[in-house]
C-alpha cells in the first residue's frame, strides 16, 4: 500500500512528459504530481503539542531531494535536514548527466526550491559513516533516510583490467563532469580507437562526448580541463561492445538517435547483425520495437538525415558490436598499456531480456588504445549499523523501510539498485517518503519525545573538526561557477577542487 497514492499521481506525469530517454518526463513533474491530501493523523498532529518530526536524509541527489520534497509537502510540521558528503549538492544530476543534456539538469530548480524551504536545511561537506555515524543520526532524528546512491562501479574481473588505458565509465564521466575525486584522471586520448564495454545510456553518453565536435561541447558545462584534453584527442573510432544482441541493448531511442545524428560522425552497423529481426520484434513492446527499427534502418538503409557526401566526409565513426564478452585485456608489446581486448564470441540462449550469452569457444581480438568499462554502478555499505545486501548491492528494505531497523529508511539507487532515470528515482523516493508519512501517522515512528536534530549533530561535527557547508554557501559557489562560465561562453565553469569551494565560502 505504501506509496500507492504517490504512484498514482506519477502515472499522470509519465504520460504527460516527453518520455523515451534518459530525460524521461518533465522536471516539474515532482511538484505538480504531489497530492494535497492531509491524513487525519497529520491533522491531529498539527493541532496537538507533539514535537515536530525531525527527519534526516543522507545524500543530496535526486533520491534525497525527492524524498525531502514529498515529506515536506505532505507533513506541515516536519523538519528535514539533508546531509551531503560533497560541498555541492545534486549528486549525479551534476556529476553524471551528460553536459550536453542541460535540460535534464532543470530538476535542480525544484530541488533548490525545496532546499530554500524554512523547514529544510542542507549540510554539505559531511560524510555520513565517517564524520557522523548512522546511530548518531538516529539519536538526533526521529527518522533517517539513506539516499546515498551508488558510488562505486562493477568490475570486469578479467586479466589486464588494471592496465593503463582501461578506465571505468564512472571515473571517465566523473572526470568530464568535474567530480572532485576524478579531477586528476588524465585519460590518454592519443589512440585512434576506443572500446566501450556496455550497451547502456552511459555508454552512449561517453561515445558522444568522445566524438562530439568541440563547438558543441564548448557551449556546455563540461570542465575546462576535459575540454582541453578532448581538443587534443586523436580518438576517431568508438566501438560499443555488448555480450548479447540488438534485442537486449539497454540504451533508449532518444540517445541512439542523438548518436546517429551527431555531426561529423558516421554510424557503422553491420547489416548481418540485424537480418531477420523485423519478425522477432513484431510483438515486442513499442519502445523496444521502435529502438530496434531505428537500428535496422541505420544498418540497412542509406541514411536520410545526412547527405551521402557528408557521411563520407565524416572524420569520425562509431558502431555497435554484439555477442562479444570480454575475456582479457591484452597489453602493448612493451607491456605498458592496453593494445586490444580479447572477446569471447557468444550465442544467445533464450530470448528477450532474459536471453543469456553463452561462449561459443571462438575468440576475437579487438584492437584499441582506450577501454571504458560501462557495465554498471554499485552501491557500497555505509555503516556497520546498516544492513547491506552485498550480493545485490542494495540496502534490504520493504517500500523503503530498512529491514530490521525501525526508523531507518532508504531511497533511490541504494534502495533498488543502480538503474533507472531521474523519474524512476523520483517515483521510488516518493514511495519511501510515503512510508515515513504512514509510520508517523500510525505511530510506528514515535515522535512523543523531541529530538535535537542538527543541534546534536553540530556538536559532534565540531568535535571532529568538520565544518558543514550550508545551502546559501552552495549558492555562493554556484554564483562563482556561473560567473566563470559566462566569461567563457558556457552555462558554468565547475570548480573541481573541494578546497577551492570551501575557501570560497570562508572555511
Ligand atoms: P545520486 O544521484 O548518486 O546521489 C547520491 C548522493 O549521495 C550524492 O550526492 C553523493 O555525493 C551523496 N553521498 C554518497 N555517500 C555519502 C555519504 N557517506 N554521506 C553523505 N552523502 C553521501 N537520468 C536521467 O533521467 N537523465 C539522464 O540524462 C541521466 N544521465 C545519467 C548519466 C550517468 C552517467 C548516470 C550514472 C546516471 C544518469 N541518470 C540519468 C540516472 C540518474 O542520475 C539517477 O537515477 C539518479 O541520480 C539516482 O539518484 P540517487 O539520489 O539515488 O543517487
- 101 CA closest ligand 1 atom index: 28
Which residues partner with 268 through β-bridges?
A: 319
Q: Which tops the pLDDT comparison, 304 or 6?
A: 304
**CATH number (domain holding residue 126):** 3.40.50.720
**Residues 61 and 160 grouped into a single domain:** no
**CA–centroid distance, residue 123 to ligand 1 (Å):** 17
**Residues 140 and 158 grouped into a single domain:** no
Q: How far apart are CA 426 and CA 7, in angstroms?
A: 10
- Looking at residue 393, what is its pLDDT? 95
The answer to whether the CB of 202 is under 6 A from ligand 1 is yes
Angle at which helix 253-260 crosses helix 286-300, to 10 degrees, equals 20
Q: What is the overall mean pLDDT for the chain?
A: 90
What average pLDDT does range 444-453 have in this prediction? 93
The answer to whether the CB of 128 is under 6 A from ligand 1 is yes
The answer to whether the CB of 149 is under 6 A from ligand 1 is yes
Final residue of a domain: which of 346, 362, 377?
A: 377
**CA–centroid distance, residue 145 to ligand 1 (Å):** 15
What tens digit of pLDDT does each residue of 366-380 get?
A: 999 999 999 999 999
- Looking at residue 16, what is its pLDDT? 24
Task: Give, for ligand 1, the residue of 21, 93, 149 to mutate: max count of ligand atoms closer than 8 Å to Cβ.
Answer: 149
- Looking at residue 10, what is its pLDDT? 30
- 91 CA closest ligand 1 atom index: 9
The answer to whether the CB of 97 is under 6 A from ligand 1 is yes
**Residues 176 and 240 grouped into a single domain:** yes
What average pLDDT does range 145-166 have in this prediction? 96
Which residues partner with 328 through β-bridges?
A: 342
Tell whether the model's pLDDT for residue 40 goes beyond 70.
Answer: no
The answer to whether the CB of 412 is under 6 A from ligand 1 is yes
The answer to whether the CB of 59 is under 6 A from ligand 1 is yes
- Looking at residue 3, what is its pLDDT? 38
The residue whose CA has the least distance to atom 23 of ligand 1 is 421
Is residue 348 in some structural domain? yes
- Looking at residue 245, what is its pLDDT? 97
Split into its structural domains, the chain has a count of 3
Nearest residue to 421 (alpha-carbon basis) of 110, 90, 25 = 25
What tens digit of pLDDT does each residue of 287-342 get?
A: 999 999 999 999 986 655 555 555 556 789 999 999 999 999 999 999 999 999 99
Structural domain boundaries, residue 393: 51-151+379-469
Q: What is the DSSP string of 220-269?
A: S---HHHHHHHHT----EEEEE-SS-GGG----HHHHHHHHT-TTEEEE-
- 90 CA closest ligand 1 atom index: 9
Is residue 20 in some structural domain? no
Task: Give, for ligand 1, the residue of 91, 207, 464 to mutate: max count of ligand atoms closer than 8 Å to Cβ.
Answer: 91
**CA–centroid distance, residue 412 to ligand 1 (Å):** 8
The answer to whether the CB of 200 is under 6 A from ligand 1 is no
The answer to whether the CB of 238 is under 6 A from ligand 1 is no
Is residue 8 in some structural domain? no
- Cell output for 330: 591484452
Q: Which tops the pLDDT comparison, 14 or 468?
A: 468
- Looking at residue 271, what is its pLDDT? 94
Tell whether the model's pLDDT for residue 266 goes beyond 50.
Answer: yes
Tell whether the model's pLDDT for residue 177 goes beyond 90.
Answer: yes
The answer to whether the CB of 473 is under 6 A from ligand 1 is no
**Residues 139 and 166 grouped into a single domain:** no
Question: Which segments of 464-497 does DSSP mark as H helices, in order?
Answer: 471-487
Is residue 478 in some structural domain? yes
Tell whether the model's pLDDT for residue 45 goes beyond 60.
Answer: no
**DSSP assignment letter at 133:** -
**Residues 395 and 462 grouped into a single domain:** yes
In the structure, what pLDDT confidence band is assigned to residue 43 with cuts at 50, 70 and 90? low
The residue whose CA has the least distance to atom 43 of ligand 1 is 92
- Looking at residue 28, what is its pLDDT? 38
**Residues 216 and 351 grouped into a single domain:** yes
**CA–centroid distance, residue 1 to ligand 1 (Å):** 27
**Residues 213 and 186 grouped into a single domain:** yes
Is residue 12 in some structural domain? no
The answer to whether the CB of 63 is under 6 A from ligand 1 is yes
Final residue of a domain: which of 377, 404, 427?
A: 377
The answer to whether the CB of 133 is under 6 A from ligand 1 is no
The answer to whether the CB of 172 is under 6 A from ligand 1 is no
Q: How far apart are CA 66 and CA 46, in angstroms?
A: 23
Is residue 40 in some structural domain? no
Phi and psi at 261, nearest 5°, equal: -95, 5
Which of 3-7, 290-294, 318-322, 384-388 comes out lowest in average pLDDT?
A: 3-7
Task: Give, for ligand 1, the residue of 18, 30, 59 to mutate: max count of ligand atoms closer than 8 Å to Cβ.
Answer: 59
**CA–centroid distance, residue 74 to ligand 1 (Å):** 24
The answer to whether the CB of 438 is under 6 A from ligand 1 is no
**CA–centroid distance, residue 445 to ligand 1 (Å):** 28
**Residues 208 and 257 grouped into a single domain:** yes
- Looking at residue 1, what is its pLDDT? 33
Which of 4-18, 169-183, 244-258 comes out lowest in average pLDDT?
A: 4-18
- Looking at residue 317, what is its pLDDT? 96
**Residues 164 and 230 grouped into a single domain:** yes
The residue whose CA has the least distance to atom 47 of ligand 1 is 92
Produce one character per residue of 467-494: b if its CB has 16 or more CB atoms within 10 Å, e if not: ebbebebbeebbebbeeebeeeebebbb
The residue whose CA has the least distance to atom 46 of ligand 1 is 422
Q: Which tops the pLDDT comparison, 441 or 311?
A: 441
Q: How far apart are CA 170 and CA 380, in angstroms?
A: 14
- Looking at residue 315, what is its pLDDT? 86
- 89 CA closest ligand 1 atom index: 9
The residue whose CA has the least distance to atom 9 of ligand 1 is 91
Phi and psi at 238, nearest 5°, equal: -130, 125
Is residue 185 in some structural domain? yes
The answer to whether the CB of 151 is under 6 A from ligand 1 is yes
Percentage of the chain exceeding pLDDT 70: 88
**CATH number (domain holding residue 273):** 3.50.50.60
Task: Give, for ligand 1, the residue of 63, 66, 86, 92 to mutate: max count of ligand atoms closer than 8 Å to Cβ.
Answer: 92
The answer to whether the CB of 86 is under 6 A from ligand 1 is yes
Is residue 46 in some structural domain? no
**Residues 208 and 330 grouped into a single domain:** yes
The answer to whether the CB of 101 is under 6 A from ligand 1 is yes
- Looking at residue 468, what is its pLDDT? 98
Which of 3-17, 94-108, 271-285, 322-336 comes out lowest in average pLDDT?
A: 3-17
Amino acid at each position: 500500500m505504501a506509496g500507492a497514492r504517490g504512484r498514482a499521481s506519477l502515472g499522470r506525469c509519465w504520460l504527460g512528459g516527453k518520455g523515451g530517454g534518459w530525460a524521461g518526463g518533465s522536471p516539474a513533474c515532482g511538484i505538480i504530481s504531489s497530492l494535497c491530501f492531509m491524513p487525519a493523523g497529520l491533522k491531529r498532529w498539527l493541532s496537538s503539542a507533539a514535537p515536530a518530526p525531525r527527519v534526516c536524509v543522507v545524500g543530496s541527489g535526486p533520491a534525497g531531494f525527492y524524498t525531502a520534497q514529498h515529506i515536506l509537502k505532505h507533513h506541515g510540521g516536519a523538519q528535514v535536514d539533508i546531509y551531503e558528503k560533497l560541498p555541492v549538492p545534486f549528486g549525479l544530476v551534476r556529476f553524471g548527466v551528460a553536459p550536453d543534456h542541460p535540460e535534464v539538469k532543470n530538476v535542480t530548480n525544484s530541488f533548490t526550491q525545496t532546499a530554500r524551504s524554512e523547514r529544510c536545511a542542507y549540510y554539505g561537506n559531511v560524510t555520513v559513516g565517517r564524520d557522523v555515524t548512522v546511530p548518531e543520526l538516529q539519536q538526533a532524528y526521529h527518522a533517517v533516510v539513506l539516499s546515498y546512491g551508488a558510488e562505486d562501479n562493477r568490475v570486469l574481473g578479467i586479466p589486464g583490467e588494471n592496465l593503463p588505458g582501461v578506465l571505468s565509465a564512472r571515473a571517465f564521466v566523473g572526470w568530464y563532469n568535474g567530480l572532485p575525486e576524478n579531477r586528476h584522471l588524465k585519460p590518454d586520448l592519443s589512440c585512434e580507437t576506443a572500446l566501450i564495454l556496455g550497451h547502456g545510456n552511459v555508454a552512449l553518453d561517453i561515445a558522444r562526448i568522445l566524438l562530439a565536435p568541440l563547438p558543441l561541447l564548448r557551449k556546455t558545462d563540461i570542465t575546462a580541463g576535459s575540454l582541453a584534453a578532448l581538443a587534443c584527442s586523436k580518438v576517431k573510432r568508438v566501438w560499443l561492445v555488448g555480450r548479447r544482441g540488438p534485442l537486449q541493448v539497454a540504451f533508449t531511442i532518444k540517445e541512439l538517435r542523438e548518436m546517429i545524428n551527431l555531426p561529423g560522425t558516421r554510424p557503422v552497423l553491420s547489416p548481418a547483425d540485424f537480418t531477420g529481426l523485423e519478425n522477432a520484434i513484431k510483438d515486442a513492446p513499442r519502445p523496444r520495437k521502435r529502438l530496434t527499427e531505428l537500428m535496422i534502418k541505420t544498418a540497412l538503409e542509406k541514411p536520410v538525415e545526412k547527405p551521402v557526401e557528408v557521411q563520407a566526409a565524416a572524420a569520425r565513426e562509431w558502431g555497435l558490436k554484439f555477442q562479444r564478452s570480454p575475456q582479457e585485456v591484452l597489453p602493448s608489446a612493451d607491456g605498458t598499456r592496453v593494445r586490444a581486448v580479447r572477446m569471447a564470441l557468444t550465442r544467445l540462449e533464450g530470448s528477450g531480456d532474459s536471453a543469456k550469452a553463452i561462449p561459443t569457444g571462438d575468440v576475437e581480438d579487438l584492437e584499441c588504445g582506450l577501454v571504458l568499462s560501462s557495465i554498471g554502478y554499485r552501491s557500497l555499505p555505509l555503516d556497520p549499523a546498516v544492513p547491506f545486501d552485498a550480493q545485490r548491492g542494495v540496502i534490504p528494505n520493504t517500500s523503503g523501510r530498512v529491514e530490521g531497523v525501525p526508523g531507518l529508511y532508504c531511497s533511490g539507487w541504494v534502495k533498488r539498485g543502480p538503474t533507472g532515470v531521474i523519474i524512476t528515482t523520483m517515483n521510488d523516493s516518493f514511495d519511501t517518503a510515503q512510508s515515513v508519512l504512514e509510520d508517523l501517522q500510525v505511530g510506528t515512528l514515535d515522535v512523543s519525545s523531541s529530538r535535537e536534530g542538527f543541534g546534536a549533530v553540530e556538536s559532534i561535527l565540531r568535535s571532529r573538526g568538520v565544518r558543514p557547508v550550508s545551502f546559501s554557501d552552495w549558492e555562493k559557489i554556484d554564483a562563482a561557477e556561473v560567473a566563470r562560465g559566462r566569461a567563457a561562453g558556457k552555462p558554468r565553469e565547475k570548480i573541481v577542487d573541494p578546497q577551492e569551494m570551501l575557501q570560497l565560502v570562508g572555511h
